[in-house]
Structure 1
């Protein structure tokens, strides 16, 4: 089910959730690490739940980087990857060079989770992950501002979209992530 204060019914009309898109894992694997041309390692995505946020250093929601880090610290061993995608698309709030962005995230918020190269998140030049959001769902699912959050399950399906004003540590977000982490093969009780 997709959450964005917009339900899956509204976003997809009469399509049922069982129509798993499973396309997002391939798109996630196209992200490059900040400051390099290297793709992020597959281990960031394989058999993991991924929270993707389009981020910006100069935004009123920037303190959510601290919440993202805390969530990552608490759940990375269970299979959560948090992914920051710096973007200057909204309000020109990520104007710095990549080395400045990385330094700010790591120094100010102690970010240990992966940070991608600066990317477009809207429009025809958007990163393939963000293009797929709109292509496979609708423009209502695409980012509307900095710090929109997208949760992808281990099969590569989009499971939730939370708007920028929802903190990553909001109980609804945490409950959904914990439920998805419980479905990971490595977290299921051995029989």
Structure 2
């Protein structure tokens, strides 16, 4: 190989190496910027989520408190009374706005659990009202139907309790998520 060809090949190799290094550096900088932007986005979303989750958990705690006696068949009062059903209805109604906030804050798995709790709370309120009516009117509601209302009320109250526990764990996981697994 003559000296001229060697010089041209050497210059070409140097140029290719320089271009390759520039491309790799550019790619690494873009990747680093993307990671930084994603981390900042996650930080900005965490605080509103935390507030939405806290408000929802407070609302669900009130619902759980009002539904405690309905989770065990033997503890269900013979006459739930107007105050009990009203407080349960209010607790279930209070979940609506809070569930909306959680749904908008996300992520999807937490939103689904919040919506489920809100629906179960509404179902529980309805079931307790039906049970109350059945217990207050034994002459017009069959014993079979009263037992059915009681069974549905207990099952729904237990479902509310389990769903709340699941929501708390999902919310913790969402707040702890640093994005490294996504």
- Larger-gyration structure (1/2): 2
What TM-score range do you get, normalising by the shorter chain? under 0.3
Q: Given the two structures, how large is their TM-score scaled by the length of structure 1?
A: 0.26
Could you say which structure has the higher helix fraction? 2
Q: Given the two structures, how large is their TM-score scaled by the length of structure 2?
A: 0.27
Could you say which structure has the higher strand fraction? 1
Say which structure, 1 or 2, has more relative contact order (CA 8 Å, 6+ apart).
1
